[in-house]
């Protein structure tokens, strides 16, 4: 509890870009970080669960994060609106579960495009812009694996959650 209180103020005034913000971990991060005073830039596919309500501290950019046009638009609009990006949370992700003989390789390609390549490309856009200004970047990558029970099988994929965190900009001194 003490640790949470100590870091509660760290979000105040920070510009936080969150991908995959329409539901799950992304929506929860947006809610919590927004309550702690951050300026939010939220991106996801347009859908009924994703609020398009913008305010002085909240910018919404809908689109497909695998599209270079969408990635450039979200970074440009963020810089135009808030002047910087302090935190990037690459949360957009898709999954496919099944036995190797059952999975669709086209879906697997899409999964890598969303989960890996678009996150890398967006991070490169953000870091390049931040490196020119010598600002601190905290990049978080989150992926979750939902539990699934196959019909006729007693095997379950366990719930999982991983977070990778990077402080600093490549070539600069790492944050503590």
Ranges of H-type helices in the chain: 2-8, 24-35, 68-82, 105-112, 118-133
| 21 domain-assigned | yes
Residue-range definition of the domain harbouring residue 161: 2-167
Distances (CA, A) of 117 to 42, 121, 162, 174: 19, 6, 18, 24
**Secondary structure class of 135 (helix, strand, coil):** coil
pLDDT tens column, 100-115: 888 888 888 988 899 8
pLDDT value for 137 = 59
Summary mean pLDDT of the chain = 75
15 in any annotated domain: yes
Residue 173 lies in a domain: no
Question: Do the domain assignments include residue 174?
Answer: no
Tell me whether residue 54 is in a domain. Answer: yes
7 within domain boundaries: yes
Q: Report pLDDT digits (tens) over 41-95.
A: 999 988 887 777 778 889 999 999 999 999 999 999 999 999 989 889 999 888 8
pTM, to two decimals:
0.74
Q: Supply the CATH number for residue 83's domain.
A: 3.40.50.720
Split at pLDDT 50, 70, 90, the class of 175 is: very low
| Residue 172, in any domain of the structure | no
Return the ∠ at Cα 85 (arms to 80 and 87), rounded to 5°.
Answer: 155
């Amino acid at each position: 509890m003490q640790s949470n209180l100590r870091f509660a103020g760290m979000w105040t005034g920070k510009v936080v870009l969150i991908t995959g913000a329409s539901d799950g971990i992304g929506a929860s991060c947006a809610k919590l970080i927004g309550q702690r005073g951050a300026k939010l830039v939220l991106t996801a596919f347009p859908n009924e669960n994703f609020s398009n309500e913008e305010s002085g501290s909240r910018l919404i950019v809908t689109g497909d994060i695998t599209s270079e046009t969408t990635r450039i638009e979200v970074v440009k609009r963020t810089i135009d609106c808030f002047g910087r990006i302090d935190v990037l949370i690459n949360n957009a992700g898709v999954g496919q579960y099944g036995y190797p003989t059952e999975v669709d390789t086209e879906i697997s390609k899409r999964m890598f495009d969303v989960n890996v390549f678009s996150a890398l490309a967006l991070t490169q856009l953000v870091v390049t812009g931040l490196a020119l200004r010598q600002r601190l970047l905290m990049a978080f990558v989150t992926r979750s694996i939902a539990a699934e029970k196959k019909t006729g099988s007693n095997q379950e994929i366990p719930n999982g959650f991983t977070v990778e965190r990077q402080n600093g900009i490549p070539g600069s001194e790492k944050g503590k």
